[in-house]
DNA sequence: CGCGGCTTTGATGTTCATCAAGTAAAGTGG
DNA sequence: CCACTTTACTTGATGAACATCAAAGCCGCG
């Protein structure tokens, strides 16, 4: 099956989008085209804010590629990171359906691309197409549960256990490699695991001393996976 | 509009159920009746487990009244409480839609009643009726976000702030009163806020000494709401 | 090249967990 | 109903875990 690129858009590939299967698989071709017409693809460069807490929700945002962090800033100014995640997850698009404004902020940790589709159109399609809605429920549920589980995992560990867990998270869930460049600062790790950045750094130093990791700035190599897993488990 | 109680059921009140508006408002009368036929109303007495982590999900459970805690037990045997909530929230029914087994456990803190409806019937109705599905999405989203927000609030506070926050939570969100009977043990509060029970108790004692609360066993009276709010905020 | 932000390390003090022992309360079986 | 057992609660003492503060080095950026 072939399709023609609309002349007024650089990319209009919903029909062939590799992410289509995640949620939009149950839409008819006609509806997919409507979405395609209405959508806007926005690129965010590393560090850019995608949306902020309190901002009015106008569209449903679907992360195509990149890496983002979902977070909240308290009155006192410090940041709490809720999750760091790749496209398959929905992230902030949970409260899209029951609130007027975003409750959390979202920003790009790597260059990212998001599809923005008017929220009313999505709601209309959900209402019209139960299969699509059931699909959406499935994806939203998974996302929420992953966030909740991540939190439970973190909160049951001590400092070293949390740092180990986060390193394993990046290695196993984000980069699929023993060697990777951390997408976040030490302070952001601290904000994710609710510890002070000084102690996160100290823990890195210990891991280095004990031959568990090698690190040079943001480049990390896990040299003793087993030990790291043990620390994560008992911590 | 009147309805007749089916002879083979003690209660079959879906049409007039006071909770209908929350999710089932968009179902036709015919579908409501199907649900009504299929559903089973189960009572749980205080302390009883409604479902456990790992159990196969057979039905969609809808809390009619009571109070429940959602929690998880780690390999080491200690409990992490995720949330404590009243009927309007869905609680465990998130992973109903994307997993075979429950990821968390649910138990009754007060005598509770749940409607159990076969999950396949619910899925069928969601698929058939987009309005119903959109409704469901709204409720599920709200529930998830409340859990996530609760967690963020707790994790940004210190011991005293967490205890104050939890007391205000019970007072303001669960019992709507300055005076109430705690539905949980000191240890359960500890499991909710990730602190040791000894320190939770110590904090209670301090609050009592400082004239912030009066407490006799599980009966709590908040005597200085303002001070408690200040502790919760700055904690 | 100089400024500001991130990182690192050490020193210090606070917060919190843990252990232990004792008390109250609540269920259990005779 | 009482003796018994168990579980929840309470308090103190101790040490470990962690935050905070401060100073110095590093790196990137204008």
Query: Residue range B110-136: average pLDDT?
Result: 91
Query: Residue range B127-151: average pLDDT?
Result: 92
Query: Residue range A205-215: average pLDDT?
Result: 95
Q: What is the DSSP string of chain B?
A: ------TT-S---GGG-TTHHHHGGGS-HHHHHHHHHH-EEEEE-TT-EEE-TTPBP-EEEEEEEEEEEEEEE-TTS-EEEEEEE-TTS-GGGGGGGT-SB-SSEEEEEEEEEEEEEEHHHHHHHHHH-HHHHHHHHHHHHHHHHHHHHHHHHHHTS-HHHHHHHHHHHIIIIIS-SSEEE-SS-HHHHHHHHTS-HHHHHHHHHHHHHTTSEEEETTEEEES-HHHHHHHHHH-
Among the ranges given (A152-156, B58-62, B79-83, B145-149), the one the predictor scored with the smallest mean pLDDT: B58-62
Query: Residue range B196-221: average pLDDT?
Result: 96
Tokens of A53: 């807490």
The pLDDT tens digits of the residues spanning B174-194 come to: 999 999 999 999 999 999 999
Higher-scoring residue by pLDDT: A20, A137? A137
Q: Which nucleotides of D are covered by protein (CB under 7 A)?
A: 8-13, 17-22, 27
Among the ranges given (A143-147, B32-36, B115-119, B166-170), the one the predictor scored with the smallest mean pLDDT: B32-36
Predicted pLDDT at A144:
92
Distance CA B140, CA B16 (A): 22
Distance CA B63, CA B51 (A): 13
Q: Which among B134, B128, B108, B152 has a CA at the least distance from the CA of B23?
A: B134
Query: Residue range A220-232: average pLDDT?
Result: 97
Confirm if A108 and A68 have CB atoms less than 8 A apart: yes
Instruction: Tell the CATH superfamily of the B2-154 domain.
Output: Jelly Rolls (2.60.120.10)
Name the pairing type of β-strands A213-216 and A112-118.
unpaired
pLDDT score of B4 more than 50: no
Predicted pLDDT at B235:
83
Distance CA B222, CA B170 (A): 11
Query: Residue range A92-120: average pLDDT?
Result: 89
Among the ranges given (A8-12, B114-118, B161-165), the one the predictor scored with the smallest mean pLDDT: A8-12
Which residue of chain A has the CA closest to B155?
A: A194
User: pLDDT band for position B11 (50/70/90)?
Assistant: low
The answer to whether the C-beta of B215 is closer than 7 A to strand D is: yes
Predicted pLDDT at A20:
77
Q: Find residues 18-47 of chain A whose CB sits inside 8 Å of chain B.
A: none
The pLDDT tens digits of the residues spanning B59-77 come to: 998 888 899 999 999 888 8
* B192 min Cα distance to partner chain A (Å): 11
Could you tell me which residues are beta bridge partners of residue B60?
Answer: B117
User: pLDDT band for position B5 (50/70/90)?
Assistant: very low
CB contact under 8 A, B155 and A156: no
Highest mean pLDDT among A95-109, A160-174, B29-43 belongs to A160-174
pLDDT score of B197 more than 50: yes
The answer to whether the C-beta of A7 is closer than 7 A to strand C is: no
B156-234 CATH, one of 1.20.990.10, 3.90.1170.30, 3.40.50.720, 1.10.10.10: 1.10.10.10
pLDDT score of B10 more than 80: no
Query: Residue range B109-129: average pLDDT?
Result: 92
- B132 close contact with A: CB closer than 8 A: yes
Query: Is there a shared CATH topology between the B2-154 domain and the B156-234 domain?
Result: no
CB contact under 8 A, A140 and B140: yes
Q: What integer best gives the mean pLDDT of chain B?
A: 89
**Structural domain boundaries of chain A?**
2-154, 156-234
pLDDT score of B159 more than 90: yes
Predicted pLDDT at B12:
59
Confirm if B24 and B99 have CB atoms less than 8 A apart: no
The answer to whether the C-beta of A185 is closer than 7 A to strand C is: yes
Query: Residue range B137-154: average pLDDT?
Result: 94
Predicted pLDDT at A4:
44
Q: What is the DSSP string of chain A?
A: ------TT-S---GGG-TTHHHHGGGS-HHHHHHHHHH-EEEEE-TT-EEE-TTPBP-EEEEEEES-EEEEEE-TTS-EEEEEEE-TTS-GGGGGGGT-SB-SSEEEESS-EEEEEEEHHHHHHHHHH-HHHHHHHHHHHHHHHHHHHHHHHHHHTS-HHHHHHHHHHHIIIIIS-SSEEE-SS-HHHHHHHHTS-HHHHHHHHHHHHHTTSEEEETTEEEES-HHHHHHHHHH-
Terminal C-alpha separation, chain B: 53
């Amino acid at each position: 099956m072939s399709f023609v690129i609309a002349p007024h858009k650089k990319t209009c590939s919903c029909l062939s989008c590799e992410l289509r299967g995640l949620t939009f698989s149950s839409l008819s071709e006609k509806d997919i085209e409507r979405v395609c017409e209405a959508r806007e693809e926005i690129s965010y460069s590393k560090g850019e804010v995608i949306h902020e807490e309190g901002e009015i929700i106008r569209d449903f945002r679907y992360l195509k590629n990149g890496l983002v962090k979902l977070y909240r800033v308290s009155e006192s100014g410090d940041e709490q990171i809720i999750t760091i995640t790749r496209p398959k997850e929905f992230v902030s698009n949970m409260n899209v359906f029951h609130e007027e404004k975003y409750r959390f902020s979202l920003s790009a940790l790597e260059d990212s691309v998001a599809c923005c589709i008017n929220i009313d159109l999505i709601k209309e399609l959900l209402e019209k197409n139960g299969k699509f809605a059931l699909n959406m429920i499935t994806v939203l549920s998974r996302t929420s549960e992953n966030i909740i589980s991540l939190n439970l995992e973190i909160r049951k560990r001590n400092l070293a256990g949390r740092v180990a867990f986060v390193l394993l998270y990046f290695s196993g869930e984000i980069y699929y490699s023993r060697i990777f460049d951390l997408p976040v600062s030490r302070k952001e790790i601290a904000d994710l695991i609710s510890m002070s950045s000084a102690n996160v750094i100290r823990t890195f130093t210990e891991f280095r001393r004990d031959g568990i990791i090698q690190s040079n700035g943001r480049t990390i190599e896990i040299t003793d996976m087993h030990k790291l897993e043990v620390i994560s488990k008992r911590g």
